[in-house]
Amino acid sequence: MGIYNRILKKSLWVFHVSASPCNNCDIEILDLLTPGYDLERFGIKLVGSIRHADVLLITGMGGCKISERVIRLYNQAPKPIFVVAVGTCPIGGATFKDSYSRCGPLDKLIPVDLYIPGCPPKPETMIEGLLRLLGRLD
């Protein structure tokens, strides 16, 4: 089945959580919504409630205070929920790896389905990662 058929078959609704990032990854995610990248053409859209989400998209190094909320959001999400870690922060901490307030990596807190590395990753890389996730839904 071609990629476009897969996209038309199922759209991904994404809830974004900013878990103590430097905000560059978040700005790249905002780029995805601009006409230049137009994420919604793939049927992928950001939603305002975890209750409507297929994907939990997380940026940041996982500060200890936000980590509790990340776990709570994961527990509140309808299952199955796909967890996507964006940037080097949720994997290895990036600039914050030796921070006293880091409780990551993210996969110590909740299961992660997809890592999109980069500091920050380019919007094209994020689109490719999300489309690969769509491919796994078949």
* Residues lying near ligand SF4 in the complex (CB under 6 A): 21-22, 24-25, 59-60, 87-89, 94-95, 119-120
Residue among 29 and 110 whose Cβ is closer to ligand SF4: 29
Pairs from 23-30 (Cβ < 8 Å, separation ≥ 24): 24/87, 24/119, 24/120, 25/59, 25/60, 25/86, 25/87, 25/89, 25/120, 25/121, 26/59, 27/120, 28/120, 28/121, 28/122, 28/123, 28/126, 29/57, 29/59, 29/86, 29/123, 29/126
Q: Which is nearer to ligand SF4, 130 or 134 (CB)?
A: 130
In the bound state, the residue with its beta carbon closest to ligand SF4 is: 87
Least distance to ligand SF4, CB of residue 60, Å: 6
